[in-house]
Amino acid sequence: MAAKSKVQGVVTSDKMDKTVVVMVERQVRHGMYGKIQRRSSKFMAHDETNQAHVGDLVEIAESRPLSRHKRWVVTSVLQRAAQPAGGSGPAAENAR
């Protein structure tokens, strides 16, 4: 049996229950001109404990199909997103 592929990416959406959208960037050399280009792919990944949030760097691994679009599972959160000091949102705006 082949080894499951693992990739790292940044969470772009966590609005669904137990699911996150992860954007994975890779570098590709242009076929004719040779310039290095950045390409990105978005994957829906299963997050059983809802531990990953927008901006977090996560590692995802291939799995069996879990739904129509989910074929990846979040294995670990490598780095948390930086939270702005003083909070954010409507409550923070009204306090100023």
- Report the distance separating Cα 35 and Cα 23, nearest Å: 22
pLDDT, tens digit (0-9, with 9 covering 90-100), for 24-46: 999 999 999 999 999 999 999 99
- Report the distance separating Cα 46 and Cα 79, nearest Å: 18
Please report the pLDDT score of residue 94 as a whole number. 61
| pTM given for the model | 0.80
Structural domains of the chain in order of their starting residue, each with its CATH number = 6-82 (2.40.50.140)
pLDDT, tens digit (0-9, with 9 covering 90-100), for 38-92: 999 999 999 999 999 999 999 999 999 999 999 999 999 999 988 776 665 555 5
Please report the pLDDT score of residue 25 as a whole number. 97
